[in-house]
Structure 1
Amino acid sequence: MAREITVLGSTGSMGRQTLEVVAAHPGRFKVAALAAARNVELMTAQAKRFHPRLAVLLDPAGAQELASRLRGTGVRVLTGDEGVLAAATLEGVELVVAAMVGIRSLPAVLAALESGKDIAIANKELLVAAGDVIMGRAHTLKRRVLPVDSEHSAIFQCLNRGGPVEEVIITASGGPFRDKTLEEMAAVTPEEALQHPTWVMGPKVTVDSATLMNKGLEVIEAKHLFNLDYDRITVLIHPQSVVHALVRYGDGSLFAHLGPADMRLPIQYALTWPERWELNVRKLDLADLGHLDFSHPDVKRFPCLELAYHAGRAGGTCPAVLSAADEVAVEFFLAGKIPLTAISQVVARVLEEHRPAAADDLEAILAAYSWARRRAEVVAEGFCKGSPHKG
């Protein structure tokens, strides 16, 4: 019998690749609902191909156009946050793939857990901002939160090998600027930042990879997913992006997960766990690789990593503020308004001004997130004056 799934963020990079995995296994999955922000063209194509019971666009005008295009197909169309909530809690769905950017889908993800669904989490911001709430709710309800990020999927697959875990190592490619000086990084363009050397990702994640903020967010995710102390989570630069994570046990044994840089692999494992299915992807040839390189990150050139550790250790609403401020700063950079090196400065300033509060309920998290976005816009505007990238 086909397993019914909902995909939140179906038109984004992770959502599209999730549907590629579904298409690779005809008859084994049933897409019950799709939700996205505003891409009418792609959502129309997805709905006509996968025939979900429900399709949702956050944008009301887009949803109206989508309903017109899908008239007669039997696909119900909804809009707004209520539509996303309906998609996440749809009866019969076993697994919700949470791939929407930002934390707008947080209420829907929590509601999905409440309605008895497991979550395949493909969105960093959700666990960074609300990890305690999500994992606490999942534990109470005895639901699973399955990692989709390649690094966390790798950790997941290397755990439970017996004995206490001494250290978890998350690898980072280092992005396109790992060998550049600070002065050179200050002059890079958004177009250059979007040219990732090994992964194909959305713009936000790609820029975060260039600043190493992506790794910092993954450190916070790992803390929540696997109940780890920050002192036990290490980041290493690994340019080949072949080893995705390692787990060191108390006896000194080190387990590594190796695989090609293809997000369909961790996506499929989250969809099929505890089974492991065939997938037509490029196979690694270790002899052809020749060597694998590892080094420690340079936190002076990549201060976002240290900012993430700081926010994670501070806890409460600080990780939510970190994530929200980074979102805004990346938006300013992609618009050509501030240099890449200003992203960390914007985030640091907003974190410094923030008065931490407990992040034990949805309202506190959303309030901190909203404040941080507003404050980051003001701070980022201050960096626009005299920026070489000002549009």
Structure 2
Amino acid sequence: MTARTVSLLGSTGSIGTQALDVIGRNPDRFTVVAISAGSNIDLIARQAVDFDVPLVAVASGSPEDVRSAIGAYAASLGRGSHALRGPAYAPEIVVGEGAAEAAAAIGADVVLNGITGSIGLRPTLAALAAGSTLALANKESLIIGGDLVRSAAKPDQIVPVDSEHSAIAQSLRGGRAEEVRRLVVTASGGPFRGRTRDELKDVTPEQALAHPNFSMGRVITTNSATLVNKGLEVIEAHLLFDIPYDRIAVVVHPQQQIHSMVEFCDGSTIAQMGPPRMLVPIALGLSWPERLDDVDEPCDWTRVQSWDFAPLDDEAFPAVRLARRVGEAGETFPAVYNAANEIAVDAFHEGRIGFVDIVDSVERVVDAHASAHTGSDFDASSVEGVLGADAWARGQARCELGL
């Protein structure tokens, strides 16, 4: 594999820091040419200096604050203006609402979009327009952008970084597209696996954040508890692999050693297995279609272990069923689903609603969208139309929840 330049969006988050770990262990393969973050100026300054990044983009703060943090850290390493180890480090600094978009548009070989939420849509489109390979961890931009994003992408320009979709992409190498019978997306079941709907009514935000396998941000971890995250992944699988919703199954697999599977027409199933970590999907996002050496530890087949599988309980966890509905409706419905959920998650953590009210309120907003709007009200083929639906859904969700 020839060396690749990388622009890393969301560099201070979980995906971003792990990506820099992979890049740091493979300095002959990757050069970081841009990084972006929301507001963690101290961390992005350290990353910028450590990787000699030419462009540093921050959504909030001031150029002076970023420059000062970079200067302080560089000086601590002996890389200030009087350093013996080389000239002063002085990257280009971009600050403001369009900072991530600027980093995405730089023309890097690979843009890894690790931003969380719908704010990742414009950077996703900027990366595609620049001709970069898009390593996509920001599932929301594809889900809400739908055909807008797909039409902007050239064949094979998007490489999935979500572990489930990376697993599917790897497994699809085992056969031709016309041989695929269905995709099987695995789910841990979250911290409340096995509970009934009645047993979920009194769970607390602290309990919802106790994911059995991963440490993630508040929204993603809560989405894993409600299985909204799995619903979003079903929509993403449809958009990435062009498989109808009735051929995308979800199965609960608590150990998360199998990241997802592809079932073929002859009855065989190919699964991708590995520890419940993100290092391999991130590395493949950067190096696809090639693999890097020693990214993570493989499964230990000498150890006695058991792996469990169970059907999804749609009664206790209706989020996936609702996601199939909005996915099949298309247009701006997925954007409404995603935006309403983010408002409901915040309301839950603020103690305003209960756990089961999260998905119930999202469904009410989806119903309101279906009854109050036609396809012409929000144009799903434009960024403004998609983000307009996003804003409408947030307002409607606040109204539904009395916020």
Q: TM-score range by the shorter chain?
A: over 0.9
C-alpha RMSD of the superposition: 1.6
Decide which of 130, 134, 146 is 2:145's aligned counterpart.
130
CA distance in 2, matches of 1:236, 1:228: 17
Q: Does 1:166 align with 2:187?
A: no
Q: Does the residue aligned with 1:191 lie in a helix, a strand or coil?
A: helix
Contact between 1:8 and 1:97, CA under 8 Å: does it hold in 2? Answer: yes
| CA-to-aligned-CA distance 1:82-123 (integer Å, 9 cap, x gap) | 3222211114x1110111111223122212211111100001
Q: Does 1:78 align with 2:94?
A: yes
- Counterpart of 1:26 in structure 2 is 27
CA distance in 2, matches of 1:189, 1:289: 35
CA distance in 2, matches of 1:199, 1:345: 25
Q: Structure 1 vs Structure 2: percent identity of aligned residues?
A: 41
CA distance in 2, matches of 1:13, 1:329: 23
Decide which of 222, 243, 246 is 1:228's aligned counterpart.
243
- Counterpart of 2:254 in structure 1 is 239
Q: Does 1:345 align with 2:364?
A: no
- Counterpart of 1:290 in structure 2 is 305
TM-score (ref. length: structure 2): 0.90
CA distance in 1, matches of 2:262, 2:402: 42
Q: Does 1:373 align with 2:389?
A: no
> What letter matches 1:330 in structure 2?
V
Q: Does 1:87 align with 2:103?
A: yes
CA distance in 1, matches of 2:67, 2:9: 18
CA distance in 1, matches of 2:120, 2:305: 43
- Counterpart of 1:215 in structure 2 is 230
CA distance in 1, matches of 2:318, 2:46: 41
CA distance in 1, matches of 2:294, 2:328: 39
1:102–1:90 CA distance, 2 compared to 1 (3 A): same
Q: Does the residue aligned with 2:119 lie in a helix, a strand or coil?
A: coil
Q: Does the residue aligned with 1:97 lie in a helix, a strand or coil?
A: strand
Q: Does 1:182 align with 2:182?
A: no
> What letter matches 1:156 in structure 2?
A
Q: Does 1:305 align with 2:320?
A: yes
TM-score (ref. length: structure 1): 0.92
Decide which of 291, 296, 302 is 1:276's aligned counterpart.
291
CA distance in 2, matches of 1:21, 1:350: 41
CA distance in 2, matches of 1:285, 1:102: 35
Structure 1 position 138, deviation (Å): 0.7
Structure with bigger gyration radius = 2
| CA-to-aligned-CA distance 1:331-360 (integer Å, 9 cap, x gap) | 222233322111101101110111252522
CA distance in 2, matches of 1:135, 1:32: 26
- Counterpart of 2:43 in structure 1 is 42
> What letter matches 1:264 in structure 2?
L
* Greater CA drift, 343-352 or 24-33: 24-33
- Counterpart of 2:74 in structure 1 is none
Q: Does the residue aligned with 2:191 lie in a helix, a strand or coil?
A: coil
- Counterpart of 1:65 in structure 2 is 65
Contact between 2:41 and 2:69, CA under 8 Å: does it hold in 1? Answer: no
Paired residues, what number?
A: 378
Q: Does 1:199 align with 2:200?
A: no
> What letter matches 1:116 in structure 2?
G
Structure 1 position 295, deviation (Å): 1.0
- Counterpart of 1:8 in structure 2 is 9
CA distance in 2, matches of 1:339, 1:39: 31
Give 5+ residue unaligned stretches, structure 2.
72-87
Structure 1 position 265, deviation (Å): 0.9
- Counterpart of 1:54 in structure 2 is 55
1:86–1:379 CA distance, 2 compared to 1 (3 A): same
| CA-to-aligned-CA distance 1:299-354 (integer Å, 9 cap, x gap) | 11101111111100111100010011111111222233322111101101110111
| CA-to-aligned-CA distance 1:174-217 (integer Å, 9 cap, x gap) | 00001223233222222211111112222211111101111100
Structure 1 position 73, deviation (Å): 2.2
Deviating 4+ runs (over 6 angstroms)? none
Q: Does the residue aligned with 1:116 lie in a helix, a strand or coil?
A: coil
Contact between 1:9 and 1:99, CA under 8 Å: does it hold in 2? Answer: yes
Give 5+ residue unaligned stretches, structure 1.
383-391
> What letter matches 1:84 in structure 2?
A
CA distance in 1, matches of 2:17, 2:125: 23
- Counterpart of 1:389 in structure 2 is none
Structure 1 position 143, deviation (Å): 5.8
